[in-house]
Amino acid sequence: MSPTTSNAIEIEGLRKVYAGEGGAPEKEALKGLDLDIPQGSIFGLLGPNGAGKSTTINIMAGLVRKTAGKVRIWGFDQDRNPRQSRAAIGVMPQELNLDPFFTPAGALEVQAGLYGVPKRDRTTAEILDLVGLADKADAYARTLSGGMRRRLLLAKALVHHPRILVLDEPTAGVDIELRQMLWRNVRRLNEERGTTIILTTHYLEEAQEMCDEIAIIGDGALIARDRTENLLARLDGKTMVIVPEGEAPADVTVPEGVEVARRADGSLALTYSRAKVSAEALLDAMHRAGVAIRDVRTEEADLEDVFVALTHKD
């Protein structure tokens, strides 16, 4: 069944207040969050620790009860259709919560049973093959390496063929080979099955590489949400790196607002606003200063720059 809108997730006015313990004051983890996540996208949900990411994910997954607001999963209102909304989403948690006495195949069969998947519709062998655990199907989970256990978490999230897959810090602490394998599988699920992927990660270069759109939340509220390339464009700061022939002059006059830094390799890094200063004006300034240019390159802002700019508090 397809959702009645083009969104896989629709969140309106979501609030979560945790009661204080031992006389401590209440904590408002989410403060009226509004967020739509398009169907079929790879969507990044980013924010500093304590921003409300985990609370949002746990509410979507039906693991935490919200205080107020509306949540629709694949068109199903979480309050009116809890079973259907929960069946539409799979979550790969950050924690390695596996029963050590189950084999991967056994763990998937149990998980499928919990979701009410009929035996004829189960694809245990296919899922294990997808995550690279086909040869470990009958090995006890306690004998698996940390990376294999993380693959098994992904497999468990897929047993009921969810329309939406949430990956909560899926590559935290894993090696490069496993990280690449996970992302190949994620892209395959998205491209071949149309699975909507929601990703939280502290590796901002990973989000920049993988995500179509990104939402940044902080202190329980939405700070920014846009396509990844548009978020990067919000910082119009750019750096031109000039590699001179020989040593550059001690004093170089540049247009107002341009910052000049001398790097250890002898190059000059000119940081400027694209809206105020042109690259041509910088090159002209170098020529007037008598700088013979051997090479020139530019450095763009990356997602980490955007993240810091948006979440930094004075």
**Domains, in order of start, for the chain:** 7-232 (3.40.50.300), 235-311 (3.30.70.250)
For position 8, what pLDDT does the model report? 97
CA distances from 39 to 73, 74, 96, 200, 229 (A): 10, 8, 28, 17, 19
Average pLDDT over residues 114-120: 93
Task: Return d(Cα 78, Cα 215) in angstroms, integer.
Answer: 22
Read off the pLDDT of residues 242-255 as tens digits, 9 standing for 90 and up. Answer: 999 988 888 889 99
Task: Return d(Cα 65, Cα 79) in angstroms, integer.
Answer: 10
For position 303, what pLDDT does the model report? 77
Task: Return d(Cα 180, Cα 188) in angstroms, integer.
Answer: 12
CA dihedral of residues 165, 37, 223, 27 (deg, nearest 10): -60
Read off the pLDDT of residues 130-177 as tens digits, 9 standing for 90 and up. Answer: 888 999 999 988 888 888 888 899 999 999 999 999 999 888 777 788
* Strands 268-273 vs 259-262: parallel, antiparallel or unpaired: antiparallel
For residues 125-152, b (16+ Cβ closer than 10 Å) or e, as one string? eebbebbbbeebeeeebeebeebbbbbb
- Point out which residues pair with 260 in neighbouring strands: 270
For position 2, what pLDDT does the model report? 54
In the β-sheet with 68-73, what is the strand arrangement from edge to edge?
27-38, 7-18, 68-73, 76-77
- State which H helix or E strand residue 17 sits in: strand 7-18
pLDDT band at residue 17 under the 50/70/90 scheme: very high
234 or 99: which leads in pLDDT:
99
Of 3-7, 66-70, 167-171, where does mean pLDDT reach its minimum?
A: 3-7
**Most confident region among 55-64, 236-245, 269-278 by mean pLDDT:** 55-64
Read off the pLDDT of residues 262-304 as tens digits, 9 standing for 90 and up. Answer: 998 999 999 888 778 888 999 999 999 999 999 999 887 777 7
Residue with tokens 């259907």, as numbered in its chain = 84
% the chain with pLDDT above 90: 58
Residue with tokens 């992927």, as numbered in its chain = 197
For position 165, what pLDDT does the model report? 97
Average pLDDT over residues 204-208: 84
Contacts of 30 (CB under 8 A, 6+ apart): 14, 15, 16, 52, 55, 56, 59, 66, 67, 69, 220, 221
Residue with tokens 């694809």, as numbered in its chain = 123
* Strands 293-300 vs 237-244: parallel, antiparallel or unpaired: antiparallel
For position 56, what pLDDT does the model report? 95
Task: Return d(Cα 147, Cα 152) in angstroms, integer.
Answer: 9
Please, are residues 35 and 63 in contact by the beta-carbon 8 Å criterion? no
Residue with tokens 């031109």, as numbered in its chain = 240
Whole-model pTM? 0.78
Please, are residues 103 and 141 in contact by the beta-carbon 8 Å criterion? yes
pLDDT band at residue 235 under the 50/70/90 scheme: low
- In the DSSP assignment, the letter for residue 195 is -
For position 313, what pLDDT does the model report? 60
